[in-house]
Structure 1
Amino acid sequence: MDGGEDRLFLGLDFSTQQIKAEAINDSLQIVNETAVKFDSDLPEFKTHGGVHIHNDNVTVTAPTIMWVKAFDLLLEKMKKDGFPFHKVACISGAGQQHGSVYWKTGTNKILRSLDEKKQLHKQLQNCFSIPDSPVWMDASTTVNCRELEEKVGGPLKLAEITGSRSFERYTGTQIMKISRTRPSEYKDTERISLVSSFAASLFIGDYAPIDLSDGSGMNLLDIRTKKWSPECLQACGSDLSQKLGDPVPSKQVIGNVSQYLISRYNFSPNCKVVAFTGDNPASLAGMAPKLGDVVISLGSSDTVFSWSPSHTAELEGHIFVNPIDSNTYMSLVCFKNGSLTRERIKDESADGSWDKFSEYLKKTPIGNNGNIGIYFDVMEIQPLVQGIFRFNKSDEKVTSFPPEVEVRAVIEGQMIARKMYMEMEMRGMHTGLDTRILATGGASLNKAILQVISDVFGAPVFVSDIPNSAGLGSCYRAKHGLEGCDFSEVVKNHPQPECVAVPTEGAHEVYKEMSLRYRKLEREIANQQ
């Protein structure tokens, strides 16, 4: 290993559509980015968006060996480009949350004795008892979700134990489904990994443990004791504790890189591997947050997450053990109707122009003269509703708004909902001038939208140019785990986000009243569905 100044930290992001590697130096400068896209770089697997959607339109999987082959291709690309693997001091990574991998009995012996002359996918091609991994998009386990909730005493009880009520994409019910419908394959499963711990296993040449943060997204981990919940395990599958292994803190060093990687790619024998985690927890780390910050990710789906010192069980949203500090929590609320809905309104009401969209936002008054729009183009998560609903200042339904009113209505309605559910999820938490809202994702480039966020939340909004927060967060977590210092020390050279919006005077009073109306109207809509 070269001297301290030459050290590199490698972060991997095994996402739905690609694997991406990112490397930083001790000054946190990004020195390498390499990606392999499943659809285009591995066309033989015939995936669309990285997955296979089955004929029932609810079962969604990905070929596990495709991920292994992509891993081979990624490292070979980096080697060809002259990446200095020998300088990497520590590695960590992220995986798409809720996906699961089923290792066949006897595979661990193969992982521990890999042949450096052969590609990894050729040695592991027959090592998965379930060759197609269920991923987060799968929605085929509704009956299993209801059974799990019933067996532990109801959805709120399950949320108290695991941080969330049962959702179809969560891993516990996926395991339950496989144990019931494919019992022989389940019996032949030696270890069950999440995508994150599966990826870490490829680096250490052994079964890697599941970390506490990603493990919180399974409906199996007791987030109070930081151990698997016996009653949840019993409900989902036999011998499940043994198949999962013991969970570990997210910043734990789980081993050194394998001899296979040392021989084939010239990694240093001293290179450590820190437990991999889920993509959302890694993204939190990549934003370099402080306790109490609120992160709003504005993408195809919108996500609001926060670093909080405690948790309260709710039926909306999710609580994870914090990947930065296992004694605190990460709260997360997800909304399906995000950027695609905003783009539709832009196309229909602003002639397809974001500039015109922004002009409409700037010239319409805060509160939109009392008009409220609720836009669920696809079935929303909370509430479970689909449809477009418009109300005037008297809460009477109307069929349409003028274009400029429609534009403000979609942004105000979405952001009121984001704040409302965040406060429900993190009971007692309220944003204010001392709160930092960290905005990321495509819409974070639109300052008119960010101004509405600032006005609704009553807090200043900051943005930073972090195109791959999960990969960067994995680099930070590698450095954090290796050095064992406070996370704030690790990210002290992180680029400071720019304050781009502060609350407009008087906005708080307008949105306080409007939020009460929004909540009442949304409840009425949900009750009518």
Structure 2
Amino acid sequence: MSVVAGLDIGTQSVKLLVYDTAHRRTLAIRAQSLTLDEGHDGSREQHPAWWITAAAQCFADLDAAVRDRIVAIGVSGQQHGFVPLDAAGEVLAPAKLWCDTSSWRECEEIMAAAGGYRQCIALAGNPILAGYTASKLPWTRKHRPDVYRRLASILLPHDYINFWLTGERWMECGDASGTGWLDVRTRRWSGAMLAATDADRDLSACLPPLVDAHLSAPIAPATADALGLSHEVRVSAGGGDNMMAAIGTGNVAPGILSVSLGTSGTLFASTERPLVDDDGLWAAFCSSTGGGLPLICTMNCTVATGGVAEAFGLEAGEGDRLIEDTTPGAEGLLMLPFFNGERTPDLPSARASLHGMSPGNFTRAHVYRAAMEGATYALRQGLDALCRAGLAFQAIRLTGGGANSAPWRQMVADVFGLPVEMPVQTEGAAFGAALQALWAWRHHASDTGGIEEIAREHVVLDESRAAWPDAGRAQAYREPYQQFLDQLTVLQQAHAVSG
């Protein structure tokens, strides 16, 4: 009966993966697309009711016999979102998401109140960057004062789905790291950072308790009935999508670098404890397995390639063919792919730009390659930073929708200079949530085995989709990558002057 489910609440869709742990096979994957409310001020919002409707439909689309066998559910959610609830547990406003940059000024206000960028790192391990949950509170106070006045609970997207499933409110330290309020060194809320967010209100009263990553709670009977599930189902603590993707790619011990090519691009590694950088070159997050998860997040990955594909009317798969027909460096065309602003580096008001255009390279093929290369270069900076901190990696575990592109897998191997490994299960976040559910379910049954054992047992690599660095192409990327860094320096200096 050891069938577990992972529910991933993403930006573009909700996905449900059902996994038979005894036979080590996926029984079903269901998905429902989501829409996004976008504003010219950088706002990006979704209604939490959309997530529930989509999740319920995913369960409804399963065969009844499969639903009957599920014993545990884990929830993965897009990080940094802000779901405001009133005292009765009702949603007060649309959720502001991770990619919402409308509150970038509030980031600066909070950091100034805390004593500056570096003091925020000293207090909690992280600065307050664009999209972090903390900045959404003063924005709401200014722009939705009635919502702020009635606010009783602050939840993240995955916390809200857990609340719907169980009727209980909690956070775990991995996803809580992305609020900006968690002192990652002590795994407790930072009173100083909460006060910097609002000196006139005790925001800690709105935050749910922090729980261990292997916690689980029973599903609410009414929700179980509505979804056609057993009342015996247990719901694990869950976590942010990056934390769950770490589990789903087997990145639960040092030495592996995970890269996710999704709407955003992320790069992260496992450490025994949170790894804090005094300059804030990466997010010093906790993992959802009890350790650390140093992470670099770029806000523009498949956003860049998808935007170019739409602008040039490319059909499905055509972009990969264009990559195969062009050469590294895109004939001198370079893109800074900051369509949504950028978090790493901290340039929330930046916009995308093309450099080095000529009659010969201003073609849809070269623009598409420049978008893919720019997104890859932005992530490569993260590898450089982590290596300077003394971390070493033997391989990259690749996940996310962009990882389905063979040319992109090869580009990552060549630009990073590391072999690329692909798990058989490509839905890394949903699969990781399912494996965390298995871990929590076993803990509830007094089996205190570690998540490392579970990852070794269930994360399988697809040798047919591996990629190895090619020496010639790796050499060809070195100058374009340096040009990317040079253009980025110019942009940063310009923003420093204008800011």
Q: Structure 1 residues 272, 408: closer, same or farther in 2, change over 3 A?
A: closer
Residue matched to 1:463: 422
Structure 2 CA distance for partners of 1:349 and 1:320, relative to 1, 3 Å: same
CA contact (8 A) 2:296 2:379 kept: no
> Among residues 249, 252, 257, which one is paired with 1:294 in the alignment?
257
Alignment deviations for residues 328-382 of structure 1 (CA, whole Å, 9 cap, x no partner): 2241321415463477389879999446524334xx4x6789x572443625414
Q: Please tell me the residue identity of whatever aligns with 2:194.
A: L
Find out whether 1:422 has 2:383 as its counterpart: yes
Counterpart amino acid of residue 189 in structure 2: W
Matching residue of 1:29? 25
Q: Contact between 1:350 and 1:357, CA under 8 Å: does it hold in 2?
A: no
Count of residue pairs the alignment pairs up = 476
Q: Which residue of 2 aligns with 1:64?
A: 48
- Contact 1:423/1:429, CA 8 A, preserved across alignment: no
Report the Cα distance in structure 1 between the residues aligned to 2:380 and 2:237, rounded to whole angstroms.
Answer: 32
Q: Shift in Å at residue 275 of structure 1? A: 0.7
Contact 2:243 2:293 in 1 (8 A): no
Counterparts in 2 of 1:355 and 1:132: CA distance versus 1, 3 Å:
closer
Partners of 2:238 and 2:183 in 1: CA distance? 19
Deviations 1:70-122 (A, max 9, x none): 455444444xx314544322221112222222222244xxxxxxxxxxxxxxx
Alignment-mate amino acid for residue 329 of structure 1: L
Cα deviation 1:281-330 (Å, max 9, x = unaligned): 22222222242222222244433222234523244442321113x22224
Partner of 2:445: none
Match of 1:495 in 2: 460
| Pairing of 1:119-518 with structure 2 (within 5 A) | 127-128=90-91, 130-206=92-168, 208-237=169-198, 238-253=201-216, 255-262=217-224, 267-289=229-251, 290-309=253-272, 310-313=274-277, 314-324=279-289, 326-338=290-302, 340-341=304-305, 344=308, 353-354=318-319, 356-361=321-326, 364=327, 371=332, 373-376=334-337, 378=339, 380-381=341-342, 382-383=344-345, 384=347, 385-390=350-355, 401=361, 411-424=372-385, 427-429=388-390, 435-483=394-442, 484-491=448-455, 492-498=457-463, 500-505=466-471, 515-516=481-482, 518=484
Unaligned runs of 5+ in 1: 1-5, 39-48, 108-126, 392-396
SS state at 1:9 partner: strand
Which moves more between the two structures, 168-177 or 443-452? 443-452
The question of whether the paired residues in 2 share the 8 Å contact of 1:162 and 1:216 is answered with no
3-state secondary structure, aligned to 1:419: helix
- Quote how far apart the aligned CAs of 1:230 are: 0.3
Cα distance change of structure 1 residues 229 and 509 upon mapping to structure 2, 3 Å threshold: same
Name the residue aligned to 1:110.
Answer: none
Q: Against the structure 1 CA distance between its residues 256 and 143, is the aligned structure 2 distance closer, same or farther, given a 3 Å change threshold?
A: same
State the alpha-carbon separation in 2 of the partners of residues 414 and 17 from structure 1.
19
CA contact (8 A) 1:346 1:407 kept: no
> CA, structure 1 residues 153+426, in 2 after alignment: closer, same or farther (shift >3 Å)?
farther
Aligned with 2:458: secondary structure? coil
Worse-matched range after superposition: 26-35 or 57-66: 57-66
Give me the whole-angstrom Cα distance separating, in 2, the residues matched to 1:228 and 1:67.
Answer: 27
Mark the CA change 1:466 to 1:12 in structure 2 (over 3 Å): closer, same or farther. same
- Distance in 1, matches of 2:97 and 2:314, equals 36
Match of residue 485 from structure 2: 519
User: What fraction of aligned residue pairs are identical, expressed as a percent?
Assistant: 21
User: Per-residue displacement from partner, 1:168-220 (whole Å, max 9, x unpaired)?
Assistant: 421112123334554554343332211111111112122x2111111111111
Give yes or no for contact 1:306–1:332 (8 Å, CA) kept in 2: no
Q: Residue 33 of structure 1: SS of its match in structure 2?
A: strand
User: C-alpha displacement at 1:419, in angstroms?
Assistant: 1.5
Give the CA deviation at 1:458: 1.6
Equivalent AA in structure 1 for residue 103 of structure 2: T
Query: Could you say what secondary structure the match of 2:288 adopts?
Result: coil
Match for residue 53 of structure 1 among 38, 41, 58:
38
- CA, structure 1 residues 373+69, in 2 after alignment: closer, same or farther (shift >3 Å)? closer
Instruction: Write the distance in 2 (CA, Å) between the matches of 1:60 and 1:387.
Output: 18
Once residues 401 and 83 of structure 2 are traced to their aligned partners in structure 1, the CA distance between those partners, rounded to angstroms, is: 31
Q: Is the 8 A contact 1:298 1:338 kept in 2?
A: yes
Change in 2 beyond 3 A, CA 1:390/1:133: closer
After superposition, what is the alpha-carbon deviation per residue over 1:136-188, rounded to whole angstroms, capped at 9, x for unaligned?
33332233211111111212332444454323421112123334554554343
Instruction: Using the TM superposition, name which of 241-250 and 221-230 deviates more.
Output: 241-250
Tell me the residue number matched to 1:112.
none
C-alpha separation between the residues in 2 aligned to 1:57 and 1:295? 32
Quick check: 1:7 aligned with 2:2? yes
| Residues 411 and 180 (structure 1), Cα distance of their counterparts in 2 relative to 1, 3 Å cut | closer
The alignment yields a C-alpha RMSD, in angstroms, of: 3.5
How far 1:33 moved relative to its partner?
Answer: 2.8
Give TM-score, length-normalised by structure 2.
0.82
1:474-500 per-position Cα deviation (integer Å, ceiling 9, x unaligned)? 101101222242223213132223263
SS at match of 1:473: helix
Structure 2 residue identity aligned to 1:58: G
Q: Which amino acid aligns with 1:494?
A: V
- Farther off after superposition, 176-185 or 327-336: 176-185
Structure 1 residues 509 and 308, CA, compared in 2 at 3 Å: closer, same or farther? farther
**Which secondary structure state, in structure 1, belongs to the residue aligned with residue 178 of structure 2?**
helix
CA offsets per residue over residues 499-518 of structure 1, 9 Å max, x none? 63222346666666665554
Segment drifting more, 278-287 vs 444-453: 444-453
What is the rounded CA distance, in whole Å, between the counterparts of 1:380 and 1:422 in structure 2? Answer: 21
